[in-house]
Amino acid sequence: MLKYIIRRLFMLIPVLIGVSILTFSLIHLIPGDPARSMLGEKATEAQLESLREELGLNDSYIVQYGRFLGDILQGDLGESIQSKEDIAIQLLHKLPATVELTIFAMLLAVVIGVLAGVVAAVKQYSWFDNLSMTGALFGVSLPIFWLGLMMIWLFSVTLNILPPSGRLTAGVELNTITNFYLLDSILTGNWVAFKDAFSHLLMPGLALGTIPMAIIARMTRSSMLEVMRQDYIRTANAKGLKKYLVIFQHALKNASLPVLTVIGLQFGLLLGGAVLTETIFSWPGIGRYVYLAVLGRDYPVVQSTILIVATIFVLINLLTDILYKYFDPRIRYE
């Protein structure tokens, strides 16, 4: 197992180099000029040229990429062109917001999706099976931006029971330690901030978790139906084992590998793909951060953030592969 993990970690190197080249190339193909974006339309050509020279934008593609890669290898993510702030410091504040949102969304997706899939498989062709799979179909089909706007209209504008945006209400004080607001409020015993942060998390978390919830429910149902037709399940039932033991200890554990794969992939996708959700709910995470950076042609921010997200995504896939052995001891990593 240790050799497998080390080999997979070494495989990160070519993957991340490929990601860096692809990201660096694509961001430079985006129409627009960072210097023009910073100085405005009234800037003279001399001012623009001076700023381009200062930012190194006049250098060749190879020189710019070499400088970017050299800084990354030294642990320096660079500075934002727009704000002149250190990107690493900005990510330390914004990445926890996205991770907190993603974890909450995936917890909702996994708990509701797995339970719905199990019950739908056990009660195949029942009203619950038909209703849950129809709901899963709608969940996959609904655009996040539409769902988010409808939730704001219903719960914030009409019912006025949930805040429409942000992570914390203005005036609510919280001493941040990790920048994970729920965790920080627990660590500091600030239950007012915990309740407020949780209420802000509910709508974006549900909106973000809808699609993976639907996918997990359908995959769980399909995998459970396949496992429950096996001989050892019929034998367990014939021996008189309790129904819930057969379902959760024997069937679900053996049906979990495809579900685990989907969960790992969806978690990585949500971590890097929460742009729409964070934009609609004004959630100060890396999705919105990258979106604003693209609009402002802030090359260093886009390149560094995507590289960090790609690293996390690959590590999540590695963790998923390692968990396979826990769910199926027959798997051997050689």
pTM score, two decimals? 0.83
Sign of the torsion angle spanned by Cα atoms 292, 297, 298, 303? positive
What six digits make up the tokens of 273?
Answer: 């793909």
Q: Do the Cβ atoms of 213 and 107 come closer than 8 Å?
A: no
Give the DSSP H or E segment for 68: helix 61-73
pLDDT of residue 245: 81
Q: Indicate whether 334 pLDDT > 60.
A: no
Q: Do the Cβ atoms of 254 and 223 come closer than 8 Å?
A: no
265-318: pLDDT as tens digits: 888 778 765 778 888 898 888 888 888 888 777 778 888 888 888 888 888 888
Rounded CA-CA distance 201/275 in Å is 15
100-151: pLDDT as tens digits: 999 999 999 999 999 999 999 988 889 998 998 888 888 888 888 888 899 9
Q: Which range has the top average pLDDT, 64-68, 189-193, 257-261?
A: 189-193
3-class secondary-structure state, position 257? helix
Query: Domain residues of the chain, as ranges?
Result: 2-73, 92-327
Q: Which range has the top average pLDDT, 93-102, 245-254, 315-324?
A: 93-102
Considering the segment(s) 92-327 as one domain, its CATH architecture is: Orthogonal Bundle (1.10)
Residues 6+ apart with CB under 8 A from 164: 152, 156, 157, 203, 281
Rounded CA-CA distance 62/75 in Å is 20
Q: What are phi and psi of 86, to 5 degrees?
A: -65, 125
Q: Taking each helix axis from N to C terminus, what angle separates 87-122 and 127-141, rounded to the nearest 10 degrees? A: 150
What six digits make up the tokens of 21?
Answer: 């080249």
